[in-house]
Chains A and B, each alone.
Chain A
């Protein structure tokens, strides 16, 4: 890797950071570079300090870096916040007209450009973020025609006037930026060969739902799940799809269930607090054996916690809620490709086993942009797991909860034929009517539980990077990028390190886990929670006790260097 640059664009909420960030990412993508970008923002609409941080490289990158090479400060506060992270070759660029009063010496070494003035010249203060993007790209050495093409493309949905204003703004920024000397500037590729797809985890979840033939999404807005629905909403006109903002999460999960019961693939997406409200519904899906998919985009809790930040602390909650036992799947994809493919799989598994499937993602994965290089497979057809009158010897004798060897009863749809479909959240007989009979109750519990071995058989083993290493870092979900890079760092530091990464968490693939984990001399749990939740699960399911932990619960994503340093510290 000869290029590895981190650019941070900082400013207040409401300053249009997202536009700057999107433009930077698209220009890099168009040029055939690799990138990954995180969005770090506060739970407010105006003010505060937010930043967008993009890592640009000529080799695949899947984790953020901490040191900042180029800081584009749209306000003074960003200078204060991010200067301490500046790398040796670091440069700060700020708006000359930055009006808020700074401390003495604050502007030292800061390169200023008249961003706001240039924006006004280009057609309005509103284009300031495009000026900033143009300047930033020029500082990095990006050629003007590449920037122009991207701006044109980016604003293509808007009026000609808006497009032209933004091109003018980008050009003014670019001209001004060219005069800035930056050690990190690099030679941009000549071609326009895009590497992979540029998307966020939220985009991937929405696309995955569509690829799974999902036709109904019911939801109640909650960060960081909302971007999934916003992304889905942008595709609404192309598909037979209904998106309904429910009155609350309880309604959302119950609507999802009603839709699935009537034969349409449906899902809901929320975060921990909303998931808490959905748990009774999760139980209803369990006892009624209704195939629903719930995406839980985790954020730190409990209660409101840190609304716009990231964490991985809902694993036991998803495994154990609500009351009593009922089978479910829990899948925690690590990459954007994986989010897409996992959505397809979650729907398939839910319908195949008539059980709820929970997809665990988090703010880091939902809001960050990645280049997806791996396969994202749209199935050619969707298997039909339901039956009709034609499949029954006598439709009038249909029983929704008939006992079978697999525990899975043939599922018919209401009002689709003569067969009456009777579904009940009370304990029920095979025909769906309420029962309190002790023997039947026992048999129904056993019927539902009997699906679990086959469900477990569907679970994939943890993936491993240097599986035979002496020291194995162990993680799950969105941390796969930082984990693998940390392993590479440790190995170049001379340590025999590897990692095992879990995506399929429930029913827990205990045997596979044991096989991978027991070989290592030392196992260190790396998790985004305070108690090593996966570590506890592994211990419960395999008896293997981890030898150390690297835990982060400050709401920020993992950086590979910090994982590597923490591991070195523990193993010294």
Chain B
């Protein structure tokens, strides 16, 4: 096992004290160490927002791109080198709002990446406006009379699109979350973990306390992850009882494995064959 300390980075952390993101960060380090993936073998792609800053706070290769666009960058990188372990850190606004179309496509494409959606149900970095996952009625400085849009639920959307790995985590259950991340990385295909993450600065509804009171872990006894209908139901349980764990898992053929040329090895390590181009040119 790789030493967790190896992922430590002394770049100054910029999150608010008490933010749920710290739990996600520690779970990531723990999961990578547990799977023996050293920093040099992991690529983390992120979007914009508090979640998007995550890769700066651990040792890894990273591409910190644009708001909403982490998934396409990760897809391109994975196409180029499918030997890399690719994780994505993205916010609920980043992934389901600005990048919503990419989210839908990523599920359908089934690229072998692990998407960690830091779901704080609010726009953190831009100081507290509603996000696609905000509860109806939540008031903000902009949504003064409360949110009037119904919330977007990433896991049920992913399930409806045929996703093969859908889980929910909670930033306050570090060990459990680490387990989920390990399972997601091991999974061959697109793996979504929607992680409830308290934002102590801007979300007064979905708090540490409320989550701690209502979160419960799924076990073999209370849930069968092969049961799609049951998985849909888990997505829709109210705020009183919030299940965390793998909602659904099935074997799928990942994007890379669907493409013959990628089964022969990563594109990045192929050699250039000028004669083949010349021969083709000569057919014109």
A-to-B contact residues, CB < 8 Å:
197-199, 203, 207, 210-211, 213, 215-216, 218, 235-236, 238-242, 244, 246-248, 250-252, 254-264, 266, 280-281, 284, 288, 372, 376, 378-382, 413-415, 417-426, 432-434
**Sample (24) of A-B pairs whose CB atoms are under 8 Å apart:** A197-B281, A198-B284, A207-B277, A207-B281, A239-B277, A250-B72, A254-B65, A258-B45, A262-B43, A262-B84, A264-B268, A281-B66, A284-B69, A372-B284, A379-B274, A381-B274, A413-B268, A415-B42, A417-B40, A418-B40, A420-B61, A421-B61, A425-B48, A432-B62
Q: Is B181 an interface residue (CB 8 A)?
A: no
- Bound state CA distance, A466 and B92, in angstroms? 62
- Bound state CA distance, A381 and B273, in angstroms? 8
Kindly identify, within residues 63 to 78 of chain B, every residue whose CB is under 8 Å from any CB belonging to chain A.
63-66, 68-69, 71-78
A242 touches B101 (CB 8 A): no
Interface size class of B (residues with CB under 8 A): 35 or more
Kindly identify, within residues 177 to 225 of chain B, every residue whose CB is under 8 Å from any CB belonging to chain A.
none
Contacts of B42 in A (CB 8 A): 415
Contacts of B62 in A (CB 8 A): 421-424, 432
With both chains docked as a complex, state the minimum distance between the C-beta of A502 and any C-beta of chain B, in angstroms: 26
Also in contact, A215 and B270, with CB within 8 A (given A425-B65, A433-B56):
yes
- Bound state CA distance, A259 and B262, in angstroms? 14
B83 touches A415 (CB 8 A): yes
Also in contact, A258 and B280, with CB within 8 A (given A251-B101, A378-B274, A381-B272):
no
Q: Is B60 an interface residue (CB 8 A)?
A: yes
Q: Is B261 an interface residue (CB 8 A)?
A: yes
A420 touches B39 (CB 8 A): yes
A258 touches B64 (CB 8 A): no
- Residue from A199, A203, A262, A419 within 8 A of B80 (CB atoms): A262
Q: Which residue of A lies closest to B260 (CB)?
A: A237
Closest 5 pairs (CB-CB, A-B): A258-B76, A255-B76, A414-B61, A254-B72, A264-B80
Contacts of A250 in B (CB 8 A): 68-69, 72, 101-102
With both chains docked as a complex, state the minimum distance between the C-beta of A453 and any C-beta of chain B, in angstroms: 29
B79 touches A255 (CB 8 A): yes
Most buried by B among A266, A284, A433: A433
With both chains docked as a complex, state the minimum distance between the C-beta of B111 and any C-beta of chain A, in angstroms: 10
Q: Which residue of B lies closest to A263 (CB)?
A: B268
Q: Is B278 an interface residue (CB 8 A)?
A: yes
- Residue from B14, B74, B79, B84 within 8 A of A216 (CB atoms): B79
With both chains docked as a complex, state the minimum distance between the C-beta of B140 and any C-beta of chain A, in angstroms: 25
Contacts of A210 in B (CB 8 A): 277, 280
Q: Is B53 an interface residue (CB 8 A)?
A: yes
B79 touches A203 (CB 8 A): no
A420 touches B79 (CB 8 A): no
A420 touches B60 (CB 8 A): yes
Most buried by A among B83, B104, B278: B278
- Bound state CA distance, A422 and B261, in angstroms? 28
- Residue from A266, A421, A424 within 8 A of B76 (CB atoms): A266
Contacts of A419 in B (CB 8 A): 40
A242 touches B40 (CB 8 A): no
Most buried by B among A213, A251, A262, A422: A262
- Bound state CA distance, A252 and B277, in angstroms? 25
B81 touches A263 (CB 8 A): yes
Also in contact, A247 and B268, with CB within 8 A (given A207-B277, A262-B80):
no
- Bound state CA distance, A419 and B38, in angstroms? 12
B66 touches A415 (CB 8 A): no
Also in contact, A247 and B104, with CB within 8 A (given A238-B276, A420-B59):
yes
Q: Is B267 an interface residue (CB 8 A)?
A: yes
Q: Which residue of B lies closest to A428 (CB)?
A: B64
Q: Which residue of A lies closest to B101 (CB)?
A: A247
Contacts of A418 in B (CB 8 A): 40
Q: Is B41 an interface residue (CB 8 A)?
A: yes
With both chains docked as a complex, state the minimum distance between the C-beta of A481 and any C-beta of chain B, in angstroms: 19
Contacts of B73 in A (CB 8 A): 254-255, 257-258, 261
Extra contacts besides A254-B72, A424-B64 (6): CB < 8 Å: A250-B69, A251-B105, A261-B76, A263-B81, A281-B66, A424-B62
- Bound state CA distance, A250 and B72, in angstroms? 8
A378 touches B66 (CB 8 A): no
Q: Which residue of A lies closest to B60 (CB)?
A: A420
- Bound state CA distance, A244 and B68, in angstroms? 19
- Bound state CA distance, A424 and B53, in angstroms? 10
Contacts of B278 in A (CB 8 A): 378
Contacts of B83 in A (CB 8 A): 415
Contacts of A417 in B (CB 8 A): 40
Q: Which residue of B lies closest to A382 (CB)?
A: B272
Q: Is B259 an interface residue (CB 8 A)?
A: yes
A259 touches B79 (CB 8 A): yes
A241 touches B69 (CB 8 A): no
Q: Which residue of B lies closest to A431 (CB)?
A: B11
With both chains docked as a complex, state the minimum distance between the C-beta of A232 and any C-beta of chain B, in angstroms: 11
- Residue from B56, B261, B284 within 8 A of A242 (CB atoms): B261
With both chains docked as a complex, state the minimum distance between the C-beta of A30 and any C-beta of chain B, in angstroms: 13
B267 touches A215 (CB 8 A): yes
